[in-house]
Chains A and B, each alone.
Chain A
Amino acid sequence: MLSNVFSTSSSNGAPDAEEGPDNLLCASKKSDGWVGLGCCELAIAAECRRACKQASSTNDILKSCKKQHESALISCVNRNEMGSVCCSYAGRNTNCREYCQAIFRTDSSPGPSQIKAVENFCASISPQLVQCVNNYTQSYPMRNPVDSIYCCDRAEDHACQTACKRILMTKRTEIEIVDNLIAACKTMPLPQDPLWQCFLESSRSAHPGITIAPPPSTGVDGAKLHCCSKANSSKCRELCTNLYSTSWGNTQNWQKFDNECEYNPSESQMLTCLADVREPCQLGCRNLSFCTNFNNRPTELFRSCNAQSDQGAMNDMRLWEKGSIKMPFMNIPVLDIRKCHPEMWKAIACSLQIKPCHGKTRGSIICKTDCVEILRKCGDHSKFPESHTAESICEMLSSTDDTEDCIPLETYLRSSSLEKDIEDITHPCNPNPCPSNHLCEVNRKECVPGEPCFPYSCVQGCKLGEASDFLVRQGTLIQVSSGEVGCYKICTCGQGGTLENCMELYCVDLQKSCIVGGQTKSHGTSFKVDCNICSCVAGTVRCSKRQCLNELSSEEDRSMFTGLPCNCADKFVPVCGQNGRSYPSACIARCVGLLDHQFEFGLCSSKDPCNPNPCLKNQRCIKKRQVCLTSFEKFECPQYECISRQIKCEHLRDPVCDSDNMEHPNICTLYQRGKQLSYKGSCQHFCKSAEPVCGHNGETYSNVCSAYYDRVAVDYYGRCQDVGIFSDHSFNTECSSVQCPPIPKFGCKPIIPPGACCPLCSGVLTILFDKEKLDSFAKIRKMPITVMDILQKIRPHISVPQCDIFGYLSVESELVVLVVPVDIHPKAIQVEACNREAEKINSLINSDSPTLASQVPLSALITSEVFISSTVNSDCTKNISNNLYTLLCLLLNGVYIFCHL
């Protein structure tokens, strides 16, 4: 009687079921017992099916059938049970009973005529029945056939198309629609017929509660797909998209891509991006047995420092000894490389395999002069392809001589001057110690005694697509290319290691360029206008808002120039903006766009957001300082948090230190005791003295540790008392009253971060960000995006535990990020490592590399500028042509430094 879906399968030429276990009708026929029997064939596990057939109540099946696997069965049983309850009100009235049962017969939504019929026949017999049926039908989403009218256009036959549209507009029940369609189009539904395919595609599954969710289409490799947008030629963009979008490319496509793009110097942007996905640049190289000159270079960046590439370099050398170098697009005939400068050939082979990538563009190409030199000497000129010379061949291989873009061989002709096993710099995540599908992160937490403590931790990640090796961290929001070039989706990396809850974000028109001073700048290019950094973002120019002097500035301008935004006077009368940032003066606050009612006098740290208490009676108000980058008008920027007073604290040991310098076992206990958090981690000895410090953000902190906990580095000791220095041009006396902490004497040319008073040894990044994009992320997250959010996302990309990241929002509305040596008295090599890390981050931002751009909110960073407290070492590399300078650096640093000339 109440058999389910199968009971209507009567027409058509299907071989009807004979006797045997496959017969589905028998179960429902013989049983007048349990209503769920007709559903048993929906069971998936054999065990469950057996149990179902013998069951006499729903409870019987729940023992053998797992709820989460057998949802189809369970929903069918539930429906039938509900039907049996509802229809039992009909009593002996067969008409009413039959109409009632019709409602529950299949799981398709009951048509209006069916519901009407129940009302007509049952209203007088049992109002409960009508109510019961209504409860069921109302829970069903009503389907509107007109919404599927687009399917009609897929029909091949014109008459069928028009009939289909008419049928969908006039007929209401599903059965009517299907029968009329079959009659009008003169075809039975076949899944290969485009019309029926369309209906099937948009149909929901037969079992309510189960929806067929197509896997998020990120392309087979979403990370590499992102790189395709960086292609220079439309042909390479198309080929690249073919390889990584819907299906993995075939051999022909791979070959085409190899021939036209893979080694094409004009596609370097895309290629670097692809290389970043395959083999990210990592600090440090050691333990190689063939390419020994690459060992002990803890502050240099390489893509592939491993035994396999080491072996590869050796294999390459052996092949080249046969007299020809096989390149992807040509063979270069060479003399006996065992006799002709073998050390240079080795450096070449190793460079090509180990892939140093410290240049600005992170490419691993050999410089042209080196190429020409070696081919002139050791190329077999008699066998060169016609009309080719060493120069012309090298022009094809590497057209650059800029050390920002290419690797000077010189570096790798001798071994590193550093001692073996330097302990000053470590690389816990290189080589990667984590299992596959896991990301390695440097462990910066203090170790809890008695528990195992590794310098790294492994976190599960999600792949950006089926064929992708690129991992993103679990539990984070991800921005991923959505298949079409320039279009993006936002997804969550879920617990199962898969991307979930994706939603379309926006498309960027990559073809739109900007015109600046008569020059065309394409999307993504960064440039300077006066002292401001700018970038072209899909047709609009985004620039920083620094106060600049240029050659047109008059003498008067110069004398009045303060370097501060809007040329505000350098008076220190701080105000606190609603975005959570303190500004040195009301003038500056107005200049960044705050209205008079949007800031109040005094530092933000001096305000008490919990007075008056904004929380409910049973809640406790906790100060939570944050500086929001998103619009506070739209997303607010609360400086407090309300937490329930009645929480039971677990005995978890995760020590925290309160503002009275007392330690508590965990944050929950601290709040329960009514204390204010100063910083996480156990109370530090050196933070005991209650000496306030002034952070780079112009905010006073009670001690160093609480400043660090806010990821703000210390500018000087004592309360904030001055505006800070903003420009090279301002001959200010602002910071004269400030006493700066001492800086290391060697190995560092200290720099003053924007708005700070004191110089320090670190890499400094000034980053321009896209506020509208951040706003759109905030809308999705339903939370403002803060400086801390950004810093916490960048932090895992600092691979050396000896460096850490701090940052703040500058008064020029740029994000300033400092990569600072952790040690108070850092060694030169540690400063160097931090500089390299800063340069790495800078170039990842500027190239919009998927390493950062796949993460929300880092994808909103537009362009960045890096200043490094250059150790003399890197100065030598940079100013390779400057003999005098090199001499100077040699003289200054004597033994330690290796200079290349």
Chain B
Amino acid sequence: MILLSSRSVLLSVYYPQIFLILTSGSYLALSSVVALGANIICNKIPGLAPRQRAICESRPDAIIVIGEGAQMGINECQYQFRYSRWNCSALGERTVFGQELRVGSREAAFTYAITAAGVAHSVTSACSQGNFSNCGCDREKQGYYNQEEGWKWGGCSADIKYGIEFSRKFVDAREIRKNARRLMNLHNNEAGRKILEEQMKLECKCHGVSGSCTTKTCWNTLPKFRDIGFILKEKYNDAVHVEVVRANRLRQPTFLKIKKIKNYQKPMETDLVYIERSPNYCEEDSATGSVGTQGRLCNRTSPHVDGCDLMCCGRGYNTHQYTKVWQCNCKFHWCCFVKCNTCSERTEVFTCK
């Protein structure tokens, strides 16, 4: 209840600006005649919660940016876990946020954090680029002069607050069940966004030819999303096992505490948290959503998790041999032909049985 009411406050704070702009908007857009209404498409997008659907319908421009942000999160997840048994995939229907894991594992924690951060990231950068109505560069920062350090805000500071708020409004709206998993997901969403916010960087530029840098303008920039990926991967490794506390009268999940610690110690804001142990992801399993590692590429010599022993969970591997042929040592002869040698290389590829 607490969460819900605070959300509606946020909505009412943010929306007035949106609608002021929308209603006074240009008449040009009206004249464009289109094939499909947003509501028809939004209705068919799989996996949207009702509130998300409403946002999709009223802001079809936003849903594109959200989709791109979520995709960026998914891609980053796949990159970070490209050598692991779990490669950021799951059984089930593809949604805006990828295939969702059923188990409240640390992998689920990672996907929630990275997609929430991805959405915040892409909304913020769309704002700076002017591709998103009713936001832009961070106006709070404009015109402010820092007397002590001798620089002023200038250029375009990324409006991360707007991006985070939008991500909160949209991504968190899919948590409609009242259970432990909801608390876990919300925490991880917030952790992803928090880490993104902490990684904002100040960039400055000096003006003038002389060395003293008297006039300096600075602006906030978004970090590269790859950096966020690496930090979240670290957080994944140190993810905290938590359990829910049902504190109120209705015995509904109220907050999370770290498991195995007697007193009520809550996890840190930027910790990734999970409530269930991960499956081993060796076999396909519809109960856990695991796709299994059958057919995955592995490295025969590596002792790590990308090595065939670990990756294939002892099932062994298939060896595929390829011969790669290409033209090499090409020479130009006067006039006019090119003569090349043929080079070839044999390569072996291993996939899990």
Contact = CB atoms under 8 A, between A and B. Distances in A.
B133 A312 contact: no
B178 interface: yes
B208 interface: yes
A178 B177 contact: no
Interface in A295-326: 304, 308-309, 311-312, 315-316, 318-320, 325-326
Interface string B200-242: 0001010111111011000101000000000000000000000
Interface in A79-110: 106-109
B128 A247 contact: yes
A148 B36 CA distance: 9
Which of B32, B38, B64 has the largest number of chain A CB atoms within 10 A? B38
A891 interface: no
A215 B130 contact: yes
Contact of B35 (A15, A147, A315): A147
A204 B133 CA distance: 14
A731 B174 CA distance: 89
Interface stretch (B7-15, B77-85, B279-287, B315-323): B7-15
Contact of A201 (B24, B25, B64): B64
A109 B32 CA distance: 14
A201 B60 contact: yes
B66 interface: yes
Interface string A205-231: 111011111110110100000000000
Which of B25, B44, B70 has the largest number of chain A CB atoms within 10 A? B44
Contacts of A466: 128, 130, 136-137, 156
A24 interface: yes
Interface stretch (A191-199, A517-525, A663-671, A794-802): A191-199
B48 interface: yes
Nearest to A324: B211
B307 interface: no
B41 A196 contact: yes
Contacts of B295: none
B30 A211 contact: yes
A177 B36 contact: yes
Contact of A199 (B25, B41, B56): B41
Given A6-B50, A15-B177, A44 B44 contact: no
B29 A174 contact: no
A206 B56 CA distance: 9
B322 to A, nearest CB: 27
B335 interface: no
A204 B32 contact: yes
Interface in A324-361: 325-328, 349, 352-353
Which of B15, B60, B154, B174 has the largest number of chain A CB atoms within 10 A? B60
Interface stretch (B92-100, B188-196, B260-268, B344-352): B92-100
Interface stretch (A136-144, A700-708, A739-747, A879-887): A136-144
B137 A220 contact: yes
A822 interface: no
B42 interface: yes
B38 A190 contact: no
Contacts of A318: 212
B63 to A, nearest CB: 5
B67 interface: yes
A127 B171 CA distance: 48
Which of A14, A44, A202 has the largest number of chain B CB atoms within 10 A? A14
B60 A203 contact: yes
A353 B210 contact: yes
B211 A22 contact: no
Given A13-B47, A217-B130, A108 B25 contact: no
B19 A200 contact: no
A8 B43 contact: yes
Contacts of B221: 248, 250-251
B54 A147 contact: no
A71 interface: yes
A108 B37 contact: yes
A308 B217 CA distance: 13
A263 interface: yes
Contact of B60 (A148, A212, A315): A212
A436 interface: yes
A106 B39 contact: yes
Contacts of A189: 41, 44-45
Contacts of A349: 210
B155 interface: yes
Given A148-B36, A202-B35, A214 B128 contact: no
Interface of A is mostly: loop
B22 A168 contact: no
Which of B15, B49, B67, B211 has the largest number of chain A CB atoms within 10 A? B211
B125 interface: yes
A789 interface: no
Contacts of B8: 45-46, 49
Given A12-B46, A211-B22, A203 B12 contact: no
A553 interface: no
A146 B19 CA distance: 31
Given A13-B93, A18-B177, A247-B128, A42 B54 contact: yes
Contacts of A190: 45-46, 67, 94-96
Contacts of B22: 71, 205, 210-213
Contacts of A144: 33, 35
A5 interface: yes
B137 A212 contact: no
B45 A248 contact: no
B69 to A, nearest CB: 9
Contacts of A72: 58
Contacts of A638: none
Contacts of A143: 33-37
Contact of A312 (B24, B47, B215): B215
A15 B49 contact: yes
A248 B41 contact: no
A204 B29 contact: yes
A745 B30 CA distance: 66
B20 interface: yes
A247 B41 contact: no
B40 interface: yes
A142 B25 CA distance: 21
B209 to A, nearest CB: 6
B176 interface: yes
Contacts of B155: 220, 248, 467
B271 to A, nearest CB: 25
A205 B4 contact: no
B165 interface: no
A496 B93 CA distance: 46
B263 to A, nearest CB: 31
A13 B46 contact: yes
A202 B38 CA distance: 9
A352 B32 contact: no
B21 interface: yes
A325 B156 contact: no
A44 B29 contact: no
Contacts of B129: 220, 246-247
6 contacts: A69-B16, A69-B20, A201-B61, A212-B59, A220-B137, A278-B207
Interface of A: 5-6, 8-9, 11-15, 17-18, 20-22, 24, 41-42, 44-47, 49, 66, 68-72, 106-109, 141-148, 151, 168, 174-175, 177-178, 182, 188-193, 196-197, 199-207, 209-215, 217-218, 220, 246-248, 250-251, 254, 258, 263, 278, 304, 308-309, 311-312, 315-316, 318-320, 325-328, 349, 352-353, 436, 466-467, 469, 496, 500-503
Interface of B: 4-5, 8-9, 11-12, 15-16, 19-26, 28-30, 32-51, 53-54, 56-61, 63-64, 66-68, 70-71, 92-96, 125, 128-131, 133, 136-137, 142-143, 154-156, 174, 176-178, 203, 205, 207-212, 214-215, 219, 221
- 10 tightest A-B CB contacts, nearest first: A191-B67, A312-B214, A326-B211, A213-B25, A248-B156, A206-B57, A148-B35, A467-B156, A46-B8, A145-B35
